[in-house]
DNA sequence: TGCACTTTGGCAACAGCGTTGCTTAAGTGG
DNA sequence: CCACTTAAGCAACGCTGTTGCCAAAGTGCA
């Protein structure tokens, strides 16, 4: 740990405060108070950030008897990130700015089981299309309106055409198991064709951009963790085609030794329950999906609640966030059911539905943005 | 984060390498290689540590063609720590040196249910006795042999009377729930008298030493985590009068938001199982202890294995360590049973019995030592 | 025995970081 | 109009680990 090692953490800390500040921005003195640094150091750091184009002055606060505080803001157009969500039957690609705001978005049908080759072809095509779109022409600036060139492109925000600038990288989220360090999937559930394919390397080569790979639930949890008012520790429980969880402890996602953390679906909750393909019995996923299949969402919610309670107790966490297609189909049933189980056990953790349509893809983009903010 | 902030982490890192080095010690160049610092920086840091009495030169390596490397060692007598284990029926107090080696040890019967007053009286008495013993006369040096003054004192190592020196603090481990930040127990299982009693503060005042309080399983896990060859992540599963776990992730114990992490006993593993006092059904502890009670240790081991598998999967960890009285009564039965369940689920995590008589008390001492080594 | 060679580890000068002390700038309110 | 308050920059400083250089201490060959 050498001295320049101080530079990035402190600058990242300041940058993160700029990011999470409310819309009015944040002044140097407020930064100093919240970082514990002296106002002088903050001045130095913000001067560097401004010269790098990452921050800017944006107006003044009302005076309280002296010189009014100058307000600083993050410059969201200083960088962009691509988020890719490889779901079992759908490919979502989106572009976010430095603040994580979605600038452009694409979707298309996908067969994940087709294997790495065709899927990576599709990803390459979608990312290229996204980047050559009108909103951030890093690769190939173009002026045509979105709907003429790329029918599926839907600008989420009517941004006044941000200047072309750098795309920092591509975050890819897909079902596990996989190794996020090596960027290589394992036997992706049901699709052994993926095992060992160097996805990160190949995509990085094709796109000429840094690529980060992670499990879908981890990405979703990361995306939720970076929200300004996010709790420090929580479990994101995702009930879609399968059941998984993303765990955030002390602000950082927990990946475990093999990127496998958050495996909630194969928790044993019924020792003598029905056998599961995993080799166990009474797995949470099997029981929960069976209840859904027979139309008993409330029953599924109670079973899910027992699983969530196990996690809350084991990790002593603050909050449970729910998401995934099945949850979104009946949000109140699931939130209420899980809440009831937790309350019955005297666990104070609040339960809410947080996962939305693009939660995973946005989280994937955050895989790229997160290091900049020291997370 | 200011510049001196670099000093402690780097010095702590070096100190930790000195601690975990093999018996021959470690040279400056080896320290440089393993820390990533330059040899010069290591020279500076080790010079400081030597001047503070924490490190010393201890011989030379064989030359490999030039000046032979000078070997450095930690000076274990540079500081001592007290570890206190408040078990339900027993009080263990021990003194360790800076390397964590037990120097002196005391035990006496205890009724934890008697409440904070009498128990803290006993702790105070034991700690004072320990410190005025012959091995480390910080409070009251004495020359009498151990067996004459303090019958229960058993020097673990025939140390040649280390010079009186500083006792860094007292670590206290007890059953939860409790708040390790405030140093205040909650409703200690079965003994509501403890709730809200300012244990840390009161002991610190009585003994005139810093006091750290933590849950027994967390302390045990910490003690196991600091061993030189310890895995980076593991679960320590303790089956004694109750069932609990200590979780170590990336080298650090996980305490959670309210020091409650590791609550394994009330994991639901049988949705329609027998009701438990906690409000749930089919809790792991209830099922496991019931199996033990009917003499079915192998069955208890299988149930415990299911719980351990849930933890291993959820956190994606390396290893499972077992401890606690019931496990120690039939170590092979439990280790074998848990191992079998994990193997049947395709989980590669090795299982071993690690908890011994003083695991918790030694871990408690490490609560004090750990900050010195940057852990 | 002598000398070239290798390696260790200390000394001195250096660059980078945040801090302290002071000054200037920009408002408010009597 | 002026005293007062607050913000923020400039200069000097102390601390860190780094680089460049050199002395010390061994080995091994002639």
Q: Phi first, then psi: give them for residue B76, nearest 5 degrees.
A: -65, -25
Long-range contacts of B111-115 (CB under 8 A, 24+ apart): B112/B86, B112/B87, B112/B88, B112/B174, B112/B175, B112/B188, B112/B191, B113/B88, B113/B190, B113/B191, B113/B193, B115/B191, B115/B193, B115/B194
What does the DSSP 8-state code read for residue A233? S
- Give me the architecture of the B78-220+360-373 domain, per CATH: 2-Layer Sandwich (3.30)
Confidence of residue B198 (pLDDT cuts 50, 70, 90): very high
Is B65 within 7 A of strand D by CB distance? yes
Provide the sign of the torsion angle of the four alpha carbons B24, B30, B32, B36, taken in this order. negative
Q: B179 is written with which tokens?
A: 């708040």
Nearest to A268 among B264, B280, B306 (CB): B306
Neighbours of A148 (CB within 10 A): 10
Q: How confident is the model at residue B5 (pLDDT cuts 50, 70, 90)?
A: low
Supply the pLDDT for residue B148. 29
> What's the confidence (pLDDT) of residue A152?
33
Judged by CB atoms closer than 8 Å, whether chains meet at A260 and B313 is answered as yes
Same-fold call for B4-74 versus B78-220+360-373: no
Query: Has residue A141 got a pLDDT over 90?
Result: no
B116-133 tens-digit pLDDT? 999 999 999 999 999 987
Nearest to B72 by CA among B138, B140, B113, B15: B15
Which of these, B65, B76, B18, B69, lies nearest to B45 by C-alpha position?
B18
The reported pLDDT for the residue numbered B7 is: 60
Which DSSP category does A277 fall into? Answer: T
Average pLDDT over residues B57-62: 85
Q: Is the CB of B65 within 7 Å of strand C?
A: yes
Digit-coded pLDDT (tens) for A47-57: 888 888 899 99
DSSP code for A229: T
What pLDDT, on the 0 to 100 scale, is given for residue A157? 41
> Could you tell me how many CB contacts below 8 A there are between chain A and chain B?
146
pLDDT in tens, B207-220: 999 999 999 999 99
Tell me the average pLDDT across B244-254: 95
pLDDT band at A159 (very low <50, low <70, confident <90, very high): very low
Whether the pLDDT of residue B64 is over 70: the answer is yes
**In this predicted structure, which of A1-15, A291-305, B178-192 has the lowest mean pLDDT?**
A1-15
Output the pLDDT for position B191: 78
A178 forms beta bridges with A185
User: Is the CATH code 3.30.420.40 the one for domain A225-359?
Assistant: yes
Phi, psi of A194 (to 5 degrees): -80, -20
Q: Is the per-residue pLDDT at B268 higher than 80?
A: yes
Distance CA A82, CA A116 (A): 19
Dump pLDDT digits (tens) for B339-362. Answer: 999 999 999 899 999 978 899 999
Q: CB of A344 under 7 A from strand D?
A: no
Consecutive H or E run containing B220: helix B216-225
Q: What is the pLDDT of residues A249-268, one digit of tens each?
A: 999 999 998 888 999 999 99
Report CA(A96)–C1'(C4) in Å, whole number. Answer: 64
What pLDDT, on a 0 to 100 scale, did the predictor assign at position B291? 97
The answer to whether the CB of A110 falls within 8 A of the CB of A89 is yes
- Contact list in B for residue A271 (CB cut-off 8 A) is 269-270, 273, 282, 287, 303, 306
The pLDDT tens digits of the residues spanning A301-327 come to 999 999 999 999 999 998 999 999 999
Per residue in A189-242, pLDDT tens?
Answer: 667 888 889 999 999 999 999 999 999 999 999 999 999 889 999 999 999 888
Distance B39 CA to C10 C1' (A): 11
> Which range is least confidently modeled, A113-117, B162-166, B196-200?
B162-166
Could A279 and B346 be called an inter-chain contact, meaning their C-beta atoms sit closer than 8 Å? yes
d(CA A68, C1' D5) / Å: 11
Residue B150: its pLDDT value, please? Answer: 31
With an 8 Å Cβ cutoff, are B263 and A306 in contact?
A: no
* Amino acid B207: pLDDT: 96
- Residue B282 has phi, psi (to 5 degrees) of 60, 40
Res B331: pLDDT: 96
Q: Is the CB of B38 under 7 A from strand C?
A: no
Given this model, what pLDDT does residue A357 score? 86
Compute the nearest-CA separation of A208 from chain B (Å): 31
Tell me the pLDDT tens digit for each residue of A90-127: 999 999 999 999 999 999 999 999 989 999 999 999 99
* pLDDT given at position B283: 97
Residues of chain B with Cβ-Cβ distance to A346 below 8 Å are 278-279
Whether residue A161 has pLDDT greater than 60: no
Q: What one-character-per-residue DSSP string does A145-184 give?
A: -HHHH-TT---SS----PPP--EEEEEEEE-SSEETTTTE
Look at residue B189 in the predicted model and tell me its pLDDT: 64
Predicted local distance difference test score (pLDDT) of residue A156: 40
Q: How far is the C-alpha of A355 from the C-alpha of A269, rounded, in Å? A: 24
Reported CATH class of domain A78-220: alpha beta
As a whole number, mean pLDDT of residues B300-318 equals 97
Residue A7 is predicted with a pLDDT of 64
CATH superfamily of B227-358: ATPase, nucleotide binding domain (3.30.420.40)
Q: Which residue of A has its CA nearest to B280?
A: A345
Q: What is the pLDDT of residue A155?
A: 37
- What fold characterizes domain B4-74? Arc Repressor Mutant, subunit A (1.10.10)
pLDDT for the residue numbered A142: 32
What average pLDDT score do residues B249-263 get?
Answer: 92
Which of A151, A168, A144 shows the shortest CA–CA distance to A107? Answer: A151
Dump strand ranges (E) for B61-140. 70-74, 80-86, 90-97, 102-109
CB B321 within 8 A of CB B237: yes
In 3D space, the residue among A282, A279, A307, A303 whose CA is nearest the CA of residue A291 turns out to be A303
Mean pLDDT of chain A: 87
Q: Where are the domains of chain A?
A: 4-74, 78-220, 225-359
Task: State the average pLDDT over residues B258-263.
Answer: 91
Task: Over range A364-371, report the average pLDDT.
Answer: 96
Q: With an 8 Å Cβ cutoff, are B256 and A317 in contact?
A: yes
């Amino acid at each position: 740990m050498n001295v320049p090692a101080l530079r990035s953490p402190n600058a990242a800390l300041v940058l993160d405060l700029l990011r999470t500040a409310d819309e009015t921005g944040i002044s140097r003195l407020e930064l100093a108070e919240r970082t514990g640094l002296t106002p002088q150091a903050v001045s130095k750091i913000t001067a560097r950030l401004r010269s790098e184009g990452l921050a800017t002055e944006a107006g003044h606060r009302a005076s309280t008897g002296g010189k009014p505080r100058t307000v600083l803001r993050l410059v969201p157009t200083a960088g962009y990130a691509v988020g890719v969500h490889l779901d079992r039957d759908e490919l979502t690609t989106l572009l976010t700015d430095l603040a994580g705001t979605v600038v452009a978005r694409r979707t298309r049908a996908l067969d994940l089981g087709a294997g790495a080759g065709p899927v990576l072809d599709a990803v390459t095509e979608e990312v290229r299309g996204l980047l050559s779109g009108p909103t951030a022409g890093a690769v190939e600036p173009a002026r045509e309106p979105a709907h003429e060139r790329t029918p599926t492109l839907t600008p989420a925000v009517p941004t006044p055409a941000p200047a072309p600038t750098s795309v920092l990288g591509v975050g890819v989220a897909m079902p596990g198991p996989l190794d996020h360090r090596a960027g290589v999937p394992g036997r992706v559930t049901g699709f052994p064709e993926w095992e060992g394919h160097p996805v990160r390397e190949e995509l990085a080569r094709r796109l000429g951009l840094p690529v980060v790979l992670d499990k879908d639930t981890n990405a979703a949890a990361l995306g939720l963790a970076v929200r300004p008012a996010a709790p420090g520790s929580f479990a994101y429980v995702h009930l879609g085609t399968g059941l998984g969880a993303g765990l955030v402890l002390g602000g950082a996602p927990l990946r475990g030794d093999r990127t496998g953390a958050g495996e909630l679906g194969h928790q044993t909750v019924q020792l003598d329950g029905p056998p599961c393909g995993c080799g166990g019995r009474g797995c949470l996923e099997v029981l929960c999906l069976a209840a859904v299949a027979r139309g008993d969402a409330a029953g599924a919610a109670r079973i899910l609640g027992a699983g969530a309670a196990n996690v809350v107790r084991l990790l002593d966490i603050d909050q449970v966030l729910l998401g995934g297609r099945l949850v979104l189909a009946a949000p109140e049933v699931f939130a209420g059911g899980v809440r009831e189980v937790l309350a019955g056990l005297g666990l104070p953790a609040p339960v809410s539905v947080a996962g939305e349509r693009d939660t995973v893809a946005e989280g994937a983009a955050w895989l790229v943005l997160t290091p900049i903010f020291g997370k």
